[in-house]
Structure 1
Amino acid sequence: MGGRFLPAAAAILLLGCAAQAPETRSASSDPPQRAAAADPYPSTYRPYPGVPTAITGATVFDGEGGRFENGTVVIVDGRIQAIGGPDTPIPEGANRIDGTGRWVTPGIIDTHSHLGNYPSPGVEAHSDGNEATSPVRPEVWAEHSVWPQDPGFTRALANGGVTTLQVLPGSANLFGGRSVVLRNVPARTVQQMRFPGAPRGLKMACGENPKRVYGNRNQMPATRMGNIAVMRSTWQRAAEYRDRRSRDSNTPRDFALDTLVDVLNGDILVHNHCYRADEMALMIDMGREFGFKIASFHHAVESYKIADLLREADICSSMWADWWGFKMESYDAINENIPLVHNAGACAIVHSDDPNGIQRLNQEAGKALADGRRMGIQISDEDAWRWLSFNPARALGIAEETGSLKVGKRADVVLWNGNPYSVYTRPERVWIDGALLYDMNNPALRPVTDFELGQPGEGDVK
């Protein structure tokens, strides 16, 4: 390669801040670690340093349905200090960016990613996302497979404006293990990417995947009723284990059941791969039976059939815009799924489940928005941005910290060079915690790895 292309480690240094050890990065008012004393793998995340910045003259979506024309967003100490119209006060000495003709939004949050667990290029030796050795594997943690130098992270940042993402285990298992919420920042370890205070998730799966994988091995489950039976017996064991541990602290630990007890105690959120409406309804009932709550159904192509049930249960649906027909349980998918769920007052989310799709979630939202309007559902551009930032933050338990441009929240901000729903638009600049981590006009802030192989416009390649 003649030294023209930078390896992944050098790409971290290219951002200008990672030469410092994480402990020396400027600290912000991070919330206390959730159950830090009991966490053997705590987050060591520290924000990269930024400077006071004001973006002016742009069309601003605040992520919760608000819109400002000729708007101003002020970033100070890694947080949103102010948002409003052209008369919004700007601190003296702040770096001013003219956003005329551009759009500003909160950073995109992907609730369903496998980046780092299935890194690029995709080879069997690095395929670490699914411990498919048993239908019940809650003891495994996705973060223990994450490769932080996966080029997919920088692609999601630069092409998709993704600032936060949840990395999940795969969906072969009924209980696939713990998920992890990451900041999309260059780092040497996964602990340096972990979102401070974000609860971990439990990946569960319904339907075709588990019954096919294990039924083909002539073991249970081989049917949908087998899926439910194994899930119920597993939750019953977890409840009994919790009771034994509460009575006798000398009860031997079981790492798999520890995960499930943390779910029952509300410390881990359930993220459930589930396509069909009837199965989602069964899972809601199971949650009531054993006392756990599902944060989000993933893929959820039939959510439109039970949108009222999802609203009443306060469960989000993480959905694709138009994936359809690739297996039987996706045959009742419709392009209007997302707007119908939104229109019913339920929590709608656009997710990727794909290393390429994560680079254009804004376009996927645009497709769903247009499909809704064609059937007469009038959702504004600014309201639809909830699907990409605020609703995902709700599902991940981090909405108090990110997901919208509200005063005091983390400054996760994207400046788009055009209407963010357009296929012709891409991020011009991306801030995470107020630090400018991508700038399409600055070669020193365009992440480059060997994966790009010197594509035109990447890094400082001539």
Structure 2
Amino acid sequence: MSNKLAFFAAALLLGGCATQQDAKPRSASASTSSRDRVAEPWTGDPFPSTYHAYPGVPTLVTNVTIYDGEGGRIDGGSVLFADGKISALGKTVAAPAGATVIDGTGKWVTPGVIDVHSHLGVYASPSVKALSDGNEMTSPTTPEVWAEHSVWPQDPGFSRALANGGVTTLQILPGSANLMGGRSVTLKNVYARTTQAMKFPGAPYGFKMACGENPKRVYGDKGRAPSTRMGNIAVDRATWQQAVEYKRRWDKYEKDGGDAPSRDLGMDTLAGVLDGKILVHNHCYRADEMANVIDMAKEFGYHVTAFHHGVEAYKIADLLKASDVCAVVWADWYGFKMESYDGIPENLAILQKTGTCAMIHSDDENGIQRLNQEVAKALAAGRRAGIVIPDEVAWEWLSYNPAKALGIADRTGSLKPGKMADVVLWNGNPLSVYTRPDKVWIDGALLYDAHDPKRRPVSDFELGQPGEGDVK
């Protein structure tokens, strides 16, 4: 079998079986309106009949240190998963008949890493103009575009994030040139021929917004609004007002009948946000601008799920907590432009101490491969400042809190019985710079094994390229 045929065979098996955990068909019910239907996951799945749990052999990993993703730790523990789900974990877990038993002495087990801010697939590698599909920079508001329609499943970044970083789920966002950049999509990090086969079953859509320097620079330099921060808010408010009126017309039609209003794809997305079905992920650096956006959200009746980058989130940690808004931040990436100037490495630790929903993110095809190390840096900075957070609690920044921000914490993000078996076995302490994934399972399917060349994935785009070797 040729290299490329082998890759596509794996994609058929894993994309078809491993990604569709007990999901239900994504068709709308008969009572769902034509407008509401667009807030549901895209219905173009190529293999709707393959929605079932991965029928793998039960796997028991023993003698490991477990971080359960929700702040719990088990030393010398075991975790069992079968049929794509976590079955049990604890000090003593019996192996069922026929189970694969892995002795993990000296190793750690965690939930898979979840990156809530990635552009893999839409700004794919190699970084050439032909693969730059992440930002529709033709208008300051483009709510009608969907990131999934740009995602290239063969982006080599996906396999690198899996093998080097233990990333099992990621949100792909449009870029931040626009005030309203369009819909995001949540993917499971599995091999597939189509984006639809990678999609996390039943995950809500996100909506990318941006404030600050990017939109005012991009459009101000074109001699059009917005060119200032007040222009940013003005354009946003005018667009939200249109959305409120659009939703009102549809609500009236759904209640009273009559002639259906004209459909508008961008307004459909904004109406989905106003209905609470689409989650807002807002690029924002400065504390004052985050506060302005929270006020705007209250004015028009929507909720901001998370501020991304959040370099100054520590300044308003109490406001974020009171507003039920998550902060998505870096460990120490700041100072590269004026709005990111006032960052501090203690940001994450302060947010955690305040009780704010907080997490790490990459926004980078290289950074996504070492998010565990980024958390280690943030953890160390907090401890130097006297904010002592246990390692197992800090793992919430990598799995459970991101799952909450994506609306999927009931299915993944922690090692709890009944949740998806998205599991990483690390070859040492996962907060050490020397540690790498030993094995990675998604929905119980072994997708990466450092000891098996057949489980060291590469994109089929790279197969046969210099340095990639031959897949036997």
> Normalization by structure 2: what TM-score?
0.92
**Cα distance between partner residues in 1 of 2:116 and 2:448:** 22
Aligned to 1:218: 223
Aligned to 1:41: 43
Where 1:100 maps in the other structure, the secondary structure is coil
Given candidates 382, 386, 390, the residue that maps to 1:376 is 386
Matching of residue 29 in structure 1 with residue 17 in structure 2: no
Where 2:11 maps in the other structure, the secondary structure is coil
1:5-404 superposed matches below 5 A: 6-7=3-4, 10-13=6-9, 17-20=10-13, 28-30=21-23, 33=26, 35=28, 38=37, 39=40, 40-43=42-45, 44=48, 46=51, 48-85=54-91, 87-248=92-253, 249-404=259-414
**Cα distance between partner residues in 2 of 1:128 and 1:288:** 32
Matching of residue 431 in structure 1 with residue 441 in structure 2: yes
**Cα distance between partner residues in 2 of 1:122 and 1:434:** 32
**Cα distance between partner residues in 1 of 2:413 and 2:363:** 19
CA contact (8 A) 2:163 2:456 kept: yes
The alpha-carbon distance between structure 1 residues 119 and 452, as it changes in their structure 2 partners (threshold 3 A), is same
**Cα distance between partner residues in 1 of 2:321 and 2:18:** 41
The gaps in structure 1 that reach 5 residues or longer are none
**Cα distance between partner residues in 2 of 1:27 and 1:141:** 21
Aligned to 2:256: none
CA contact (8 A) 2:162 2:189 kept: yes
**Cα distance between partner residues in 1 of 2:442 and 2:16:** 17
Where 1:111 maps in the other structure, the secondary structure is strand
**Cα distance between partner residues in 1 of 2:157 and 2:146:** 20
CA contact (8 A) 1:59 1:67 kept: yes
The alpha-carbon distance between structure 1 residues 211 and 411, as it changes in their structure 2 partners (threshold 3 A), is same
**Cα distance between partner residues in 1 of 2:126 and 2:350:** 36
Matching of residue 445 in structure 1 with residue 465 in structure 2: no
Q: Give the aligned residue type for 2:43.
A: Y
How many residue pairs get matched?
453
The alpha-carbon distance between structure 1 residues 296 and 189, as it changes in their structure 2 partners (threshold 3 A), is same
**Cα distance between partner residues in 2 of 1:26 and 1:218:** 46
Once the two structures are superposed, residues 96-149 of structure 1 have per-residue CA deviations (whole angstroms, 9 ceiling, x without a partner) of 000110000000000000000011101101100000100010000000000001
The alpha-carbon distance between structure 1 residues 35 and 281, as it changes in their structure 2 partners (threshold 3 A), is farther
CA contact (8 A) 2:186 2:200 kept: yes
CA contact (8 A) 1:443 1:459 kept: no
Per the TM alignment, residue 89 of structure 1 is displaced from its structure 2 partner at its CA by 2.7
**Cα distance between partner residues in 2 of 1:327 and 1:234:** 28
The alpha-carbon distance between structure 1 residues 322 and 6, as it changes in their structure 2 partners (threshold 3 A), is farther
The alpha-carbon distance between structure 1 residues 65 and 177, as it changes in their structure 2 partners (threshold 3 A), is same
CA contact (8 A) 1:163 1:432 kept: yes
Per the TM alignment, residue 286 of structure 1 is displaced from its structure 2 partner at its CA by 1.1
**Cα distance between partner residues in 2 of 1:358 and 1:105:** 17
Where 2:215 maps in the other structure, the secondary structure is helix
Q: Give the aligned residue type for 1:185.
A: V
The alpha-carbon distance between structure 1 residues 266 and 237, as it changes in their structure 2 partners (threshold 3 A), is same
**Cα distance between partner residues in 2 of 1:191 and 1:269:** 19
Poorly superposed stretches of 4+, deviation over 6 Å: 24-27, 452-456
The alpha-carbon distance between structure 1 residues 24 and 160, as it changes in their structure 2 partners (threshold 3 A), is closer
The alpha-carbon distance between structure 1 residues 198 and 34, as it changes in their structure 2 partners (threshold 3 A), is farther
Q: Give the aligned residue type for 1:18.
A: A
The alpha-carbon distance between structure 1 residues 48 and 92, as it changes in their structure 2 partners (threshold 3 A), is closer
**Cα distance between partner residues in 2 of 1:123 and 1:23:** 30
Per the TM alignment, residue 367 of structure 1 is displaced from its structure 2 partner at its CA by 0.4
**Cα distance between partner residues in 1 of 2:466 and 2:389:** 38
CA contact (8 A) 1:214 1:222 kept: yes
CA contact (8 A) 2:19 2:443 kept: no
Per the TM alignment, residue 244 of structure 1 is displaced from its structure 2 partner at its CA by 1.2
**Cα distance between partner residues in 1 of 2:388 and 2:17:** 48
The alpha-carbon distance between structure 1 residues 454 and 252, as it changes in their structure 2 partners (threshold 3 A), is closer
> Normalization by structure 1: what TM-score?
0.93
Once the two structures are superposed, residues 242-267 of structure 1 have per-residue CA deviations (whole angstroms, 9 ceiling, x without a partner) of 11122235211010100000000011
**Cα distance between partner residues in 2 of 1:26 and 1:273:** 29
Where 2:157 maps in the other structure, the secondary structure is helix
CA contact (8 A) 2:310 2:327 kept: yes
**Cα distance between partner residues in 2 of 1:362 and 1:393:** 16
**Cα distance between partner residues in 2 of 1:31 and 1:103:** 33
The alpha-carbon distance between structure 1 residues 418 and 221, as it changes in their structure 2 partners (threshold 3 A), is same
**Cα distance between partner residues in 2 of 1:293 and 1:31:** 27
**Cα distance between partner residues in 2 of 1:144 and 1:53:** 36
Where 1:116 maps in the other structure, the secondary structure is coil
CA RMSD of aligned residues (A): 2.1
The alpha-carbon distance between structure 1 residues 27 and 254, as it changes in their structure 2 partners (threshold 3 A), is closer
Per the TM alignment, residue 179 of structure 1 is displaced from its structure 2 partner at its CA by 0.2
The gaps in structure 2 that reach 5 residues or longer are 254-258
CA contact (8 A) 1:32 1:197 kept: no
Q: Give the aligned residue type for 1:79.
A: K
Per the TM alignment, residue 241 of structure 1 is displaced from its structure 2 partner at its CA by 0.7
